[in-house]
Amino acid sequence: MSTIVMSGCATGIGAATRKALEAAGHKIIGIDIRDAEVIADLSTAQGRKQAIADVLLQCSEGMDGAVLCAGLGVQVKPAGKVTSVNYFGAVELLDAFLPELQKGHRPAAVVISSVASAHLAWDRNPLAAAFEAGDEAQAAAIVEGAGDQGGNLAYAGSKNALTVAVRKRVETWGKAGVRLNTVAPGATDTPLLQAGLKDPLYGESIARFVPPLGRRAEPSEIAAVIAFLMSPAASYVHGAQFVIDGGIDALMRPTAF
């Protein structure tokens, strides 16, 4: 039985992914603010530090995989909390877990990004320098100073930076023998989406975000792709981003890929 560490496993895509991985015979060590083996708040530096320490204590027999699903949406306030969870809450865990993953059996990791990651170019991302410098306070200050656009900037900017961070690690992780990929979901029917739909500022634009397939994804549909990427069937997939969005990225950017 392989051991996979998961963040954001209590609801939505994370809960569906946990179910799929457990059905495939994996042992899950979950990290979340509730209903998990490790209870931690990834929006704070101390919470991330504690999550890492608690996970490593529970991985005495090794770590074979990591799936980082924890994330917040555009409607969350303060907007700086979104950048903290979506970027720092993933990248810090990735880097901390790599030494243990190297010891694992056919190790692999998947990070949940977003289709929005491709809609803000890295060289135009106002948060890029702060993220690369590891300056959490500066990233928060930028989005919280952006007014009504702060939520959108925090979400798209953090997911763009997260995908870039994964891609920049492709050589190091490849040499370590650990596959690392991202998935980029579009609109998915989760509690996070439902909260966004109720938001007076962002609800209308979220409701209009309907792909060519004419419906939102079920969490299990995203989980199925993650389960594939964590399996031996994806043994040569490394550094890739899988867009799972019902065609909306192709509709919006047919010549950009």
Query: Which residues form the catalytic set?
Result: 155
Q: Which residues contact 254 (CB under 8 A, 6 or more apart)?
A: none
Give dist(CA 135, CA 143) in Å, integer. Answer: 13
By residue count, the chain amounts to 257
Beta-carbon contacts of 35 under 8 Å, excluding residues fewer than 6 positions away, are 9, 10
Q: Which residues contact 204 (CB under 8 A, 6 or more apart)?
A: none
Q: Which residues of 86-98 are buried (b: 16+ CB within 10 A; e: fewer)?
A: bbbbbbbbbebbb
Cα 193 to Cα 219: distance, rounded to the nearest angstrom: 11
Q: What backbone torsions phi and psi does residue 188 show, to the nearest 5 degrees?
A: -125, 135
DSSP bridge partners of 3 = 27
